[in-house]
Amino acid sequence: MFSSDTYQAIDTGKAVVQPLEQPSWQQKNITVAILRLDRIHPIISGNKWFKLKYYLQQAQKLNKKGIVTFGGAWSNHLVAAAYACKLEGLEAVGIVRGEAPAAYAQTLLDAQEYGMQLQFISRENYTDQQPELWQQLYPHHLVVPQGGEGALGVQGAADILPLATDYLSYTHLACAVGTGTMMAGIINASKAHQQVIGISSLKLQNASDNSIITFIGRHTQKSNFYIHTGYHFGGYARKNQELINSMNTVFKQHHLPTDFVYTGKLLYGVNDMIAKGEIPKGSKLLLIHSGGLQGNRSLPAGTLIF
């Protein structure tokens, strides 16, 4: 269905499994590796391609002119959607959370450069997003939920795990969680002998009963998963010096760049869980690097060493 240009542009062969070695993990006979989805494309980074691709196919199947989708000023999803639509010859409309700023964030400038038409709405109106309303406003476009949250996003995310050809050999699979769409796809692709661990980048009030667990429950039949709610660092896109230091240390030790919204918290959380003995000795972990490095551009220069 996709044009050969898009297939050439997205290189899933670059999603290598990188072993991560650390003496404190080796002492416990725990091995860790990470699937580098951040490398598949410089702009359509990480999990966003997987969560978008079946929506774009759907738009083409329905003969839509393009898509309408949603995000914040530094949204990995918006910029990925803008570029993927450009490659596919689809129009892209981006509904951005918040009033139009005097100066656009670099992510929005990029999305606009790739042809996305931006429309700003107040935070109040954004939170009660009505898909039907947007569909009425844009009858010739497919409405794609924020972050590709929904059945087609989950279906695409299920294609992530098999990129690691040895994925069945791992006892644990760990990923960052925003909407839970990627995690639901990973759970669906996992086997019963594997435990899927999600590190929430959002502050969730209740660890065992929250909107993410409800969403995942609707999209999978399986129960071999667990969401850790203790590594949000104050909430979505919040950070502190400890997180920044950890990201710089991870880069020094493993030459692995992470982002402060998702993957930085994933690496911090996994390391902390191992240190606290929450991961059994002898475990074999595969982490998912879900991309999103462009978001680090919102940090003051010099914050990160990479």
Ligand X SMILES: *Cc1c(COP(=O)(O)O)cnc(C)c1O
**Contact set with ligand X (CB under 6 A):** 46-48, 76-77, 147, 176-183, 259, 262-263, 290-292
Cβ atoms within 10 Å of 38's Cβ, excluding its own: 25
Report CA Rg, the chain: 19
Minimum distance of ligand X from residue 287's CB (angstroms): 11
Residue 188 or 290: the one with the smaller Cβ distance to ligand X is 290
Residue 42 or 89: the one with the smaller Cβ distance to ligand X is 42
Residue 194 or 263: the one with the smaller Cβ distance to ligand X is 263
Determine the longest span between alpha carbons in the chain, in angstroms. Answer: 59
Residue 137 or 294: the one with the smaller Cβ distance to ligand X is 294
Minimum distance of ligand X from residue 267's CB (angstroms): 12
Minimum distance of ligand X from residue 176's CB (angstroms): 4
Residue 140 or 215: the one with the smaller Cβ distance to ligand X is 215
Counting Cβ atoms within 10 Å, is residue 303 exposed (0-12), middle (13-18) or buried (19+)?
Answer: middle
Residue 129 or 277: the one with the smaller Cβ distance to ligand X is 129
- Strands 31-36, 17-20: parallel, antiparallel or unpaired by DSSP? antiparallel
Minimum distance of ligand X from residue 236's CB (angstroms): 10
Minimum distance of ligand X from residue 146's CB (angstroms): 8
Instruction: Quote the CA–CA distance of 195 and 172 in Å, as a whole number.
Output: 5
* 70 DSSP β-pair partners: 95
Whose CB is nearest to ligand X?
292
Minimum distance of ligand X from residue 39's CB (angstroms): 13
